Amino acid sequence: MHAAKAVLPHDVRAESHKAVVNQFSLHLVKNGLVEPEWTTYIGHSHDARIRADYNVAVTFAEAAAVLACDNASAFLDRISLLLGGAVPPE
Q: What is the pLDDT along the chain (90 residues), one digit of tens a residue?
A: 889 998 998 899 888 989 999 999 999 999 999 999 999 999 999 899 899 999 989 999 999 999 999 999 999 999 999 988 665 555
pLDDT at position 13: 87
DSSP annotation of 8? S
CB count within 10 Å of CB 89 equals 5
pTM of the model: 0.82
3-state secondary structure of 33: coil
Q: What is the pLDDT of residue 85?
A: 67
Q: How far is CA 42 from CA 23, 49, 57, in A?
A: 12, 11, 23
- Amino acid 10: pLDDT: 85
Are the C-beta atoms of residues 24 and 15 closer than 8 Å to each other?
no
